[in-house]
Amino acid sequence: MTDPQVALVMLGVFIFIILLGFPIAFTLMAMGVGFGYYAYFDADRMWRTYNRAVENGADSWTLLETWISGFFNNRIFDLFINQTYSVMANDVLTAVPLFLFMGYIVERSNIVDRLFSTLYVAARRLPGAMAVAALITCALFATATGIVGAVVTLMGLLAFPAMLKARYDTSFASGVICAGGTLGILIPPSIMLIVYAAASGVSIVQLYAGALLPGFLLAGLYLVYVIGRAWLQPSIAPKPRSEDVEEISAARLVVMLLTSFMPLALLILAVLGSILFGLATPSEAAAVGALGGLVLAAAYRALTWQRLRESVYLTVRTTAMVCWLFVGSWTFSSVFSYLGGEQVITEFVTGLDIDPLTFLILAQIIIFLLGWPLEWSEIIIIFVPIFLPLLPHFDIDPLFFGILVALNLQTSFLTPPMAMSAYYLKGIAPPFVQLVQIFKGCFPFLTMVFIAMALLYIFPEIALYLPQLIYGR
């Protein structure tokens, strides 16, 4: 069996193992080290010291120690150590724990429930007002956190019961929460974009600029669907009864917006603005955001030792997951490339004689299908790097490709059988809410994602305009 064939076997075995449910990060590391041992096997290097010890008549214990040392004298272990150090020293990934901490502390500071209540009052005249308020809250909260599970869970506890109590259709309400929660992997400061930047070498600052308009485009399409559906089919989102609606003066509404909407909006604008206009690096801006989250929590009298400890714990746990995924991924991909697997795939795709648009569509279909069994982190860290070397051949901007992938990965949270958003919601929903109902509610929002992707294909300036305007790229 040739080395490229071994590389393809390596990829196939990996996919099979993760489908069995084994942890992704440790599977990647085990596969990388196991196949890397074969790839870098050098008998002369490994047993040179042992053979010299035999020739010198060493005792049994010395021979055993030398044999063990020789067994581990393989370059794959050097590679693994170097990859671990490289990940931990990566400046781009430094922003991950800081943004995560900002998100978790904001989540626990009682800001979101006030924001949702205020937006509902402000939008009460619109069809599907509560769903509109939930979507806008999701978008803002997603911008502050970038953590899908946190947004879906919190909004599932806050807005979902309120919509059910207001006699909203269960599937419709479920779709609103699930789709709104996924906006966190597209709208900056998205953790997914940070991971893509680290994997691709694209500037995270330019990625953030490129993702803003597509992110708000998708959020706008969601709002158009919600309002249009509630207007055409009032039974799925009944208007509130007059006795349930408190009349609020314009002056009081302004005060409510100033105390709930403005603090979070100012924090988001300060963080993103400082990044986009070069006033701070992503890590510095994330540090300011984390500090701002603490200040907001203190201002709302929600900063307790218990909440702070929970936020730190969740930050450390999620950051460790991302970092070990990178360690395993880079070890795996290095061995895969050394064996010639990357070259085989490149030659196969370039040999198809397809145009750039066909390649883009084919790549997005593959990523869409991968989203059924896999989460976004595995797709970005493991499979997207397989496509990256092909982009220069088709003259495709890696920034544009990254935004397309970020849009596409919305589907991985909404499409069965994985559909993590649906499972997050099911975990905290009332017992009578069935998983099938949640899936049913997600499907119309999938259509909105496909429309957004089609618009991005037709008008790539949606993603490229801001980076060109601000950075002249």
319-370: pLDDT as tens digits: 887 788 778 877 887 888 778 877 777 777 777 778 888 888 888 888 888 7
| CA 457 – CA 455 distance, rounded (Å) | 5
Amino acid at site 402: G
* Tally of helices (H runs) and strands (E runs) in the chain: 23, 0
Domain assignments of the chain as residue spans, ordered by start: 44-89, 92-471
Give 467's contacts (C-beta < 8 A, 6+ positions apart): 206, 209, 210, 399, 473
DSSP character string of 395-424: T--HHHHHHHHHHHTTGGGTSTTT-HHHHH
Question: In this predicted structure, what is the pLDDT of residue 227?
Answer: 94
Could you tell me if 33 and 81 are in contact, meaning their C-beta atoms sit under 8 angstroms apart? no
CB count, 10 Å around CB of 301?
9
Residue 58: pLDDT band by 50, 70, 90 thresholds? low
pLDDT at 469 over 90: no
Nearest in space to 164 (alpha carbons), one of 130, 211, 117: 130
- Measured from the Cβ of residue 189, the count of other Cβ atoms closer than 10 Å reads 29
Which tens digit of pLDDT belongs to each residue from 330-339?
Answer: 788 788 877 8
Find, among 145, 205, 142, 208, the residue nearest to 179 by Cα: 142
Tokens representing 76 are 């794959």
pLDDT tens digits, one per residue of 267-315:
888 888 888 887 888 888 888 888 888 888 888 888 888 888 888 888 8
Comparing 45-59, 196-210, 275-289, the range with the smallest average pLDDT is 45-59
Count the alpha carbons within 13 Å of 94 in the hemisphere toward its beta carbon: 12
**Contact predicate 194/204, CB 8 Å:** yes
Q: What percent of the chain has pLDDT over 90?
A: 15
* Structure token digits, residue 218: 């998708």
State the Rg of the chain over Cα.
Answer: 25
pLDDT band at 241 (very low <50, low <70, confident <90, very high): low
Give the Å distances, CA to CA, from 338 to 13, 288, 299, 333, 379: 17, 41, 54, 8, 21
Contact assessment for residue 155 and residue 161, using Cβ atoms and an 8 Å cutoff: no
The residue to which tokens 């400082």 are assigned: 274
- pLDDT score, position 72: 67
Q: Which of the 8 DSSP states describes residue 169?
A: -
- Per-residue confidence at 223, pLDDT binned at 50, 70, 90? very high
- 56 three-state secondary structure: coil
Tens-digit pLDDT profile for residues 88-99? 777 777 778 888
When the pLDDT of each residue in the chain is averaged and rounded to a whole number, the result is: 82
**For residue 460, what are its two tokens?**
């790539």
Helix intervals (H) in 351-397: 356-370, 376-378, 384-387
* Global confidence as pTM: 0.81
Distances in whole angstroms, Cα of residue 154 to Cα of each of 60, 133, 137? 63, 14, 11
